[in-house]
Each structure stands twice: as structure tokens, then as C-alpha cells.
Amino acid sequence: MIVSLKGQLLEVTERTIVLDVQGVGYEVIVTNSVLKKMPNQGQELQIQTYLQVRDDAFVLYGFSSSEERDLFHKIIGVAGIGPKLGVGILSNIAPREFIQAVQRQDLRTLTSLPGIGKKTGERILLELKDKFKDIVLESDGEDDDLPVVSGSVFEDAVEALQALGYYGSEAERMVNLAKPHLTENYNLQELLKVALAQNSQQRGEHTWRRNG
């Protein structure tokens, strides 16, 4: 079993990379977390890997850490989920967010992921709940005590923010932070505008505090 590769980065596409390991080029399907940390072509890169052995091919999948690869193993252990879908899941949600969704039995977050319908989401919640029940995620110091967003306009805003690429709990945090800044007769468009503005302002403050 090939569990890691270290070599010269030769090629990067939308979903794959090619590594030259001692003269052999390995094509690897990778998660977005790998793609976000790409060095320049020609430089050295090490990734964690999973080898899928099929009748017609050997397929390598790559991950940015052993923790991400371990989570991938749990995900593909769910009935009906193969490696390709497993990588797709991890490319659209952070490991922390995924684990929290399972712990909270949050079907809505799971079904917002590409390729995950209601039945598959329900299987994930059922088959992984015991695997994650003893995992305690360290607090990042923000947003842990915010209430779950409720009400149609808030739910619509969360869905719209998720469509823009924000994770489920991050979108809920942004909507909750926007609430105190809304005018009396706000609509969805204003809610989204305020949520994005507050998020941008908060990120700027955090950067200033780190550099200050």
C-alpha cells in the first residue's frame, strides 16, 4: 500500500497533480486542501495517499495530512461511498465541519455537499455517529455558542452563503453577526450584504490584532 509520496511537482490540474518520485511520475487525485498549498512546479512536495486497486486501474488519492486521510478512510467506510466521492466531500467541507455535522446529526449540511442526497446523508449520520461521539474538537475561540439560525430569511441567507463557498457553521456565524446591524425592514439582499461586510471587518480586526 502506498501511504505517502514525496517528489518533484511536475503538473497541476483542477483535481490532480503529478509527482516525479525518483524518475517515476505518479498522477494523484487530491483534495482542495492539497491544491491550496501547492508549491511552484519543480519544487518538492510530500502528500499522504490512499491507493485504490480496481480491476482496470490503480488510482491514487492525495491528502494534506494524515488526519485528513484518516477521515477519508472513515467516510469511504460508509456504504455506497467510494473514494472519488470521499475526496469530493473533503474538497467541499473542512474536516472539523464534517465531524461537527455528524456529531450534531446535521443532515442539512451534509446534503449541501455535491453528490450527497438525503439517503446518503442519513447513512453517513447513522454509520459515523459512534465513530465521532468521543471526539472533542478544540474551540477556536469563536462562534461556538452562537444559536442555530432559524426563520426563512435567515435560512435562505445561510444557503446563499454556502453557495458562495462558505462552510455551514461559518455561514450561520456570519448571519448571526449581521442581525444586530440590520435595518427594521431588511430583506435577503440587505442581510447578505451586511453579513459579508461584518465578516470582512471582523477578519480585518483579527489580522490587526495578530500584527499589533
Question: Which is nearest to 174 in space by CA: 135, 70, 182?
Answer: 182
For CATH 1.10.150.20, the residue range(s) in the chain are: 66-132
Half-sphere exposure at residue 205, Cβ-oriented, CA atoms within 13 angstroms: 6
CATH number of this structure's domain 4-63, picked from the four choices 3.50.50.60, 3.40.50.2020, 2.40.50.140, 2.60.40.1180: 2.40.50.140
66-132 — its CATH code?
Answer: 1.10.150.20
For CATH 2.40.50.140, the residue range(s) in the chain are: 4-63
Question: Which is nearest to 87 in space by CA: 50, 124, 120?
Answer: 50
Domain 152-205 is found in CATH 1.10.8: yes
In which residue are the cell numbers 462558505 written? 166
Residue 146 confidence (pLDDT): 43
Encode pLDDT of 96-148 as tens digits. 889 988 988 988 889 888 899 999 999 999 999 999 887 776 544 444 444 44
Residue 119 confidence (pLDDT): 95
| pLDDT tens sequence for the chain (212 residues) | 789 999 999 999 989 999 999 999 999 999 999 998 899 999 999 999 999 998 999 999 999 999 999 999 999 999 999 999 999 999 888 888 899 889 889 888 898 888 999 999 999 999 999 998 877 765 444 444 444 444 457 778 888 888 888 877 788 888 888 877 877 677 888 889 999 998 887 766 544 444 55
For CATH 1.10.8, the residue range(s) in the chain are: 152-205
Residue 149 confidence (pLDDT): 43
E strand or H helix at 94, and its extent?
A: none
Neighbours of 169 (CB within 10 A): 21
